[in-house]
Structure 1
């Protein structure tokens, strides 16, 4: 079962690569969620991992938290805009906040590291730093909505992945 849980975590970490193509956003995000759900279910039936499995769990959990959040945020934005997915459409125009993908990946990595290190208070530190850094930009139209949707989705994804990873660790 440990191997199955690790394979599911690897699926959750690698499935977002499908979402690099806009036409495969939904399948990539869905496969990532399915991998995360499979890892969480398989983790309930195993003893705590040790050795190589422990290292693999930590790496795959962090990787899944970092990579899977991007498609999750894009899906949340698409749902919030209520735009149909029919036909090939150009990628949506960038919002008022620049650098969101890189900042989001760093944010999810910091959230995952703080949870895996046993310091959940680190989430508050990450969100406070991000909020202070983005404060001047939040006065632009739609910026606050983009910030709240993106940050909330990103952090919730990282916490969910770390929950599945922690199930293997304890």
Structure 2
């Protein structure tokens, strides 16, 4: 489980650093500090090998998943990361004494004590459903050649014309709505509030219906909405299941 948590944390935190650290020097320094922190956490929890593997996974993720998809972006890195997280969670359950950290670790909850490995997995899941989820959605849209707005002008991509959207100075709500939506899906799924979850997902469709209804004959906006929403929900539901599986293992 610790390998899954560290790998997800490495990928998710690296994406947040790449998104918000605009200067190259600052970005590189923060990525080095992130790798160092993961290795230190692994050594202190008797998971040095797993930490080293997580750093390699994070580096591979950064190299294979661009911030803004250009062309037919690869969707396979997300599949491989999900397989790695699921397999290691199943094959490597939570340990009883995770090194030096385990001697001082104490995190109570209404359901009982939360182990260090489970806490690391939870942090990794939350980081991935944030910015990494946006990258996965964009990769899926570009992979299928789905119509997607661009910041300025319109151009053909994957055989379909992408129309201009508001300038970069405008509020790009998708970057905030997507992570919040996935976080709510994870929380509501783990809480067993399936009726609220269904209501929230239905409300999103109702809110976007006027825009989709103006599509005409192309159906481009409807396709964009369906592909983006379904991929985002799959990421969130998969993250919730992984976290539930890890905690109960």
Return closer, same or farther for 1:107/1:10 CA change in 2, 3 Å cut-off. Answer: same
- 1:24-53 C-alpha deviation (Å, 9 max, x unpaired): 9946x5444433221110110244573333
- Contact 2:69/2:142 (CA < 8 Å) preserved in 1? no
Which residue of 2 is the match for residue 45 of structure 1?
Answer: 91
Higher RCO, 1 or 2 (CA under 8 Å, sep at least 6)?
A: 1
Give the gaps of 5 or more residues in structure 1: 85-91
Runs of 4+ in 1 over 6 A off after TM superposition: none
Higher helix proportion, which one?
1
Return closer, same or farther for 1:162/1:136 CA change in 2, 3 Å cut-off. Answer: same
Aligned-residue Cα RMSD (Å) equals 3.0
Give the gaps of 5 or more residues in structure 2: 19-61, 96-113, 147-156, 167-171
- Contact 1:25/1:71 (CA < 8 Å) preserved in 2? no
Matched residue pairs, number? 160
Q: TM-score by structure 2 length?
A: 0.54
Q: TM-score by structure 1 length?
A: 0.75
- Contact 2:182/2:232 (CA < 8 Å) preserved in 1? yes
Which residue of 1 is the match for residue 9 of structure 2?
Answer: 10
Matched, 1:35 2:113: no
Which residue of 1 is the match for residue 227 of structure 2?
Answer: 149
CA–CA separation in structure 2 for the residues paired with 1:62 and 1:24: 28
